[in-house]
Structure 1
Amino acid sequence: MNLNMAPPLHAVLQPTNPPPNPGPFGLCAFALTAFCMGLYNMHTGVDPHAPGNFITGTAMFYGGFGQVIAGLLEFRNGNTFSGTTFCSYGLYWVSYATLLIPSFGVAAAYEDYPEDYMTAVGIYLLGWTIFTFLMWTLTWRSNLASTALFFCLGMTYLFSAISSLAHLQPGNVVQKVGGGMGLITSGIAWYSAMADLSNSQNSYYTLPLGQLGRR
């Protein structure tokens, strides 16, 4: 008779349930922030010269820290791609918020050089354009929603970078096109989040993501 009633160590350490998926949370955080920023860039109902400080709180906390938390959880789950993108875009929103917070002194440092400030912002956005299109190439064998998301996001950055590098006035057509692409991007992100969240236990519908080359 076996009197050793203690379970083996590997059984104790083995998790009983798989870790939760932080992807929908990260996608929702990104979607809402991109939605607000897209509307502002389109200057829907606002003066073209109105400040964009309303986005600061959302960019810093929900789109920023929220995505960083989601990214760290993705790293914990072993998902390197999602961890990299969520943490990167989360810190993008944090860094973007610093441009709008007066205490950081970014805009004030360029007070006498407004054109140089626009150039600097354009270079900053161009770097994110390059990063986004690099990430886009890694979605070609995943699903249609992810591919469309990163492509539209890359176009959002591209139009915004062009607007700044060309020193166009606020409310220009290029900036509005970038804002429109941002709205499309936010819609795809929300759709992807709902596709991950919806299942037969909690809803009457499920949403396809459109699998591509992965087998």
Structure 2
Amino acid sequence: MVVGMAFAVGGIAQFVAGIFEFVAANTFGMTAFCSYGAFWVSIGLMFWPSSGILSAYEADALPDALGLFMITWCVFTFILFLATFRSSAGLVTLFFLLTMTFLLLAVGYFQDANVAIIKAAGCFGILTALTAYYVGAHGLLTAESAPFSIPNPSLATKAKL
């Protein structure tokens, strides 16, 4: 079930959302959605039993390989986090939490799959998901589409003329 969700919702749906962001000329949205769509497809492939990817590693090498995979995504996510500073408080929070999630996953795997650290990463992942739902709801619940809206303060600076 998790592999199917990784492919369908995480992978395909996010990648398609990234294509729509490209059409809308939103470079940040396109980069984030397409990249994380690719992340979820790769996770799905790794954990798909018949792919043989995980079984190709020796038992003692697998945690380090997963740690390297996660630290790579942590660095990429940190770069996106830096790009959110002039967007909204919700996006800054979202990408901070996602960066911390990947960092904790990387540290947990590098510590021989330390269960406590990986569980802490899971807690940050849940906070990340809740924040993503909030940011998404803010985008949907506008004055034009709903009887109320939810706050998400803008961090954009006004251009000097």
- Relative to the length of structure 1, the TM-score reads 0.71
Letter of the structure 2 residue corresponding to residue 58 of structure 1: M
Question: Aligned AA for 2:29?
Answer: S
Q: Counterpart in 2 of 1:76?
A: 23
Partner of 2:47: 100
Partner residue in 2 for 1:58:
5
Is 1:180 aligned to residue 127 of structure 2? Answer: no
In the alignment, the residues of structure 2 paired with residue 214 and residue 132 of structure 1 have an alpha-carbon distance, to the nearest angstrom, of 23
Once residues 140 and 96 of structure 2 are traced to their aligned partners in structure 1, the CA distance between those partners, rounded to angstroms, is 23
Matches within 5 A, 1:122-161: 122-161=67-106
Q: Deviations over 1:66-98 (max 9, x none)?
A: 000000111111111110110000110000011
Identity of aligned residues (%): 33
5 Å-filtered alignment, 1:161-172, equals 161-169=106-114, 172=115
Counterpart among 143, 146, 153 of residue 200 in structure 1? 143
Closer/same/farther in 2, CA of residues 201 and 140 from structure 1, 3 Å limit: closer
* Structure 1 counterpart SS, 2:61: helix
One-letter amino acid of the structure 2 residue matched with residue 133 of structure 1: F
Contact 1:153 1:182 (8 Å CA) reproduced: yes
Equivalent-residue separation in structure 2 for 1:146 and 1:199 (angstroms): 17
Cα distance in 1 between the residues matched to 2:74 and 2:103: 6
Amino acid aligned to 2:151: P
TM-fit CA distance, 1:127: 0.0
Q: What amino acid is the match of 1:155?
A: M
Question: Greater RCO between the two (CA within 8 Å, min separation 6)?
Answer: 1
CA contact (8 A) 1:142 1:214 kept: no
* 1:115 aligned counterpart, secondary structure: coil
Please give the alpha-carbon distance, in whole angstroms, between the structure 2 residues aligned to 1:164 and 1:86: 25
- Give the gaps of 5 or more residues in structure 1: 1-53
User: Cα deviation per residue 1:153-190 (whole Å; 9 max; x = unaligned)?
Assistant: 00000101111111034xx2111110000000000100
Q: Distance in 1 between matches of 2:157 and 2:64?
A: 41
What displacement does 1:201 show? 4.3
Work out the number of aligned pairs and report it: 158
Normalized per residue, the structure richer in helix is 2
Paired residue type of 1:151: F
Deviation per residue, 1:85-136 (Å, 9 max, x gap): 10000110000011110121101212xx111011101100000000000110
Flag the structure with larger Rg: 1
In structure 2, the gaps of 5 or more residues are none
